[in-house]
Amino acid sequence: MELTVIEAEKLKKKPDESKLGFGALFTDYMFNMDYAPDKGWHSARIEPYAPLALDPSTMFLHYAQGAFEGLKAYRTESGNIQLFRPQENFARLNRSCRRLCIPEIDAAFALEALKQLLKMEKGWVPSEPETSLYIRPTMIATDPYLGVRASHTYRFYIILSPVGAYYPEGFNPVKILVTHDYVRAVRGGVGEAKTPGNYAASILAGEKAHEAGYTQVLWLDGVERKYVEEVGSMNIFFVIDDQIVTPELNGSILPGITRDSVIKLAKHWKDSVAERKISIDELMQAHASGKLKEVFGAGTAAVISPVGEIKYGDQVITISGGKVGPVAQKYYKAITDIQYGKGEDPLGWIVQVV
């Protein structure tokens, strides 16, 4: 497919890199492509970043038939721009599309279009430590129609946002609250797809956790409310005895690329790692017997997020003395060193852009 470029008349002023937050600033250009049943995916173009004009009846706005992704472009010390396992994000987007009855995109073409967009926007990739350019590929159903069915037309776009260090005060452990009243997703639902409804479903529990002084919610499974699934919008890991353990993928857990990277690196280094069901009772018992050494979240935004405290009902447990444990530290350093080109890339995960 051909990729057209429409030049902007005026470019924006670049932000102060020391004051970048998350997801509020956007670059000069975006990628757009449309789908119609008679044309398939067509009109691929890079054009100035601009609001979308949508009919108020647009199906996505009513029924959330859509999907999205989140990945980052990193600037290395020598000034190159690189991506971390981007093929995995486009493969997951296509899996989300299949679940949401959306026509799949050509993943190889989407990656080439993203690389071209990044080449044009390379001046927006920040260079301060731990900053990056966040990439949000987004898919929406665009039929103007109020009946519930699969849309016939779609828009796929990619926008870019320079983002700051995830931990302004350093790599500090967070406090998390186990929620019994709400679930994020259920098996057979859309939990393993990266689709907007899952995030809408998570907001109330997140707000309640914040009101109670906790940073994130620890989600239990939606069927028995017994097995641990995810933390906030990250996958979760435990170090029990000397084994790294994470819940097995079961249909309601998002298959995170950071999760997969931790597992693959652990296998590469011959660290003991297991994917299995872990009940909240098992965790509490492991803590009581001194076997629960570390807990951490894993996701693109924070990479590794250590957990220092868990509240479950009336019980409050402190993990690793409220400090960052050695396993979280090791994996955080290894993955960020690969992403920023500071260390070896033993599994060939980096894709160079420029």
Ligand X SMILES: Cc1ncc(COP(=O)(O)O)c(C=O)c1O
Which pair of structure tokens corresponds to residue 335?
Answer: 């993955």
- As measured in angstroms, the least distance from the Cβ of 318 to ligand X is 25
C-beta of 100 vs 254, nearer to ligand X: 254
Q: Which is nearer to ligand X, 58 or 300 (CB)?
A: 300
Which of residues 58 and 235 has its CB atom nearest to ligand X in the complex?
235
Asked if residues 157 and 135 have their Cβ atoms less than 8 Å apart, the reply is no
Instruction: Give percent helix, percent strand, percent coil of the chain, each to the nearest 5.
Output: 25, 30, 45
Smallest distance from the beta carbon of 258 to ligand X, in angstroms? 3
The footprint of ligand X (CB under 6 A) covers 70, 230, 233-235, 254, 256-259, 299-300
Of 47, 92, 49, 44, residue with least CA distance to 68: 92
The 3-state DSSP class for residue 124 equals helix
Q: Which is nearer to ligand X, 44 or 302 (CB)?
A: 302
Alpha carbon 37 to its chain centroid, in Å, reads: 30
* Minimum CB distance to ligand X smaller for 126 or for 299: 299
Q: How far is the CB of 350 from ligand X (least distance, A)?
A: 16
Closer CB to ligand X, 69 or 143, in the complex: 69
Q: How far is the CB of 58 from ligand X (least distance, A)?
A: 24
Q: How far is the CB of 83 from ligand X (least distance, A)?
A: 13
Token code pair at residue 231: 């933390």
Q: What are φ and ψ of residue 232, in 5° steps?
A: 55, -125
Which residue's C-beta sits nearest to ligand X?
Answer: 256
DSSP annotation of 85: S
Residues 77 and 79: their CA atoms lie apart, in Å, by: 5
Strands (E), 113-184: 132-141, 154-163, 174-178
The one-letter amino acid code at 235 reads: N
Task: Tell me the closest approach of the beta carbon of residue 202 to ligand X, in angstroms.
Answer: 8
